[in-house]
Amino acid sequence: MGKVEILRAGPLASVQDLGRAERREGIPSGGALDLFAARVANLLVGNPEETALLEITLGGLRLRFGDHRAVAWCGGVFPARIAEMEFSAGRPTFVRRGEEVEFDPPTRGCRAWLAIAGGVDVPVVLGSRSTDLRSGFGGCEGRALRDGDCLSLAKTSIAKTESPRPAPWSAPLQWTQTAERVPILRFLRGSEWDEFVPEAQIALLRQPFTVSAQSNRMGARLEGPKLKRTNDWELSSEAVVPGTVQVAHDGQPILLLGDCQTIGGYPKIAHVITVDLAKAAQLRPNDTVRFEEVTLAEAGTLFTERENDLRRFRVGLALRRV
């Protein structure tokens, strides 16, 4: 069995997969904050889409591999290297035994997902290998990776070390480089949209918001025009999901991400659509973000188109491996 050593963990790196379905017990869905990027990265190295991989936050990560492995990553704009050679996003590359893989801080965006052929072999907890950092379970001992950690890698077919490095092909750029200068997040109206004053609705549609430093895997706090409600009724807590934009008592929106709690009592002004959670996962403090309203039908079409593209990509990959 192979292994990978974490020589330097950086600000926050953790083991993630596609998350859990245990909300009934109050457990966040979790998993990679950009599930689509994690699926693509896994496909690139020949893994099933749900294989456990590494989520890298703001770079600063250095790894050393114990055997030959194919690796690939998707996410923000990170300068990355394998044995001092450029390691670009979306391009599967072989790393040889003893070689180091390094991620510098991103020039744009916040997170990257690094898939390793075979996958990170940590125990399955409540149906997933993802790390729940807040409650401290899953992944590597329920915590972020530390300098000196050593992760086991699951068995994989032997990497073809004679293959060209990097591969002469890559995944579509819009899947592998998801950070934008001023991302526009498309949204659906939330159930309390009508309870906000017209100025608040217009502000969400037209004004930029800034990502606050108080942001994490649970959510991105945004700062901008105060979003006022027409009343101050206490709401009965109900389900929230990654993408929900809730407005706290101070009138500032919070965009919930993968590790968000399962229920919440703040009014929901909007929901960022599933395909744009990729952009939401790249927000880092001081970034500017804008919102644009779409219909439920448009959100569905965008999702279906992306899935169809992924299906074609998968067929292409299978042909390449024959």
Residues lying near other proteins in the complex (CB under 8 A) are found at 21-27, 125-126, 132, 134-137, 188, 191, 236-241, 243-244, 261-263, 268, 271-274, 296, 299-300, 303-304, 307
Q: Which is nearer to other proteins, 167 or 275 (CB)?
A: 275
CB 65 within 8 A of CB 97: yes
Minimal distance in Å, beta carbon 59 to other proteins?
28
Q: How far apart are CA 177 and CA 109, in angstroms?
A: 9
- Sequential DSSP letters for 254-319: EEE-TT--SEE-S-EEEEE-GGGHHHHTT--TT-EEEEEE--HHHHHHHHHHHHHHHHHHHHHHHH
Minimal distance in Å, beta carbon 163 to other proteins?
34
Minimal distance in Å, beta carbon 106 to other proteins?
27
Q: Which is nearer to other proteins, 158 or 263 (CB)?
A: 263
| Helix 296-321 with 35-44: angle, nearest 10 deg | 10
Q: Which is nearer to other proteins, 84 or 232 (CB)?
A: 232
Minimal distance in Å, beta carbon 268 to other proteins?
8
Cβ burial, residue 183 (10 Å; 0-12/13-18/19+)? buried
Q: Which is nearer to other proteins, 77 or 275 (CB)?
A: 275
Q: Which is nearer to other proteins, 38 or 101 (CB)?
A: 38
Q: How far apart are CA 167 and CA 91, in angstroms?
A: 6
Minimal distance in Å, beta carbon 205 to other proteins?
18
User: Measured in whole angstroms, how far is the alpha carbon of residue 239 from the centre of its chain?
Assistant: 21
Q: Which is nearer to other proteins, 159 or 277 (CB)?
A: 277
Minimal distance in Å, beta carbon 134 to other proteins?
7
Q: Which is nearer to other proteins, 28 or 76 (CB)?
A: 28
Q: How far apart are CA 132 and CA 190, in angstroms?
A: 27
C-alpha count within 13 angstroms, C-beta hemisphere, residue 32: 30
Cβ burial, residue 219 (10 Å; 0-12/13-18/19+)? buried
Q: What is the DSSP letter of 168?
A: S
Minimal distance in Å, beta carbon 125 to other proteins?
6
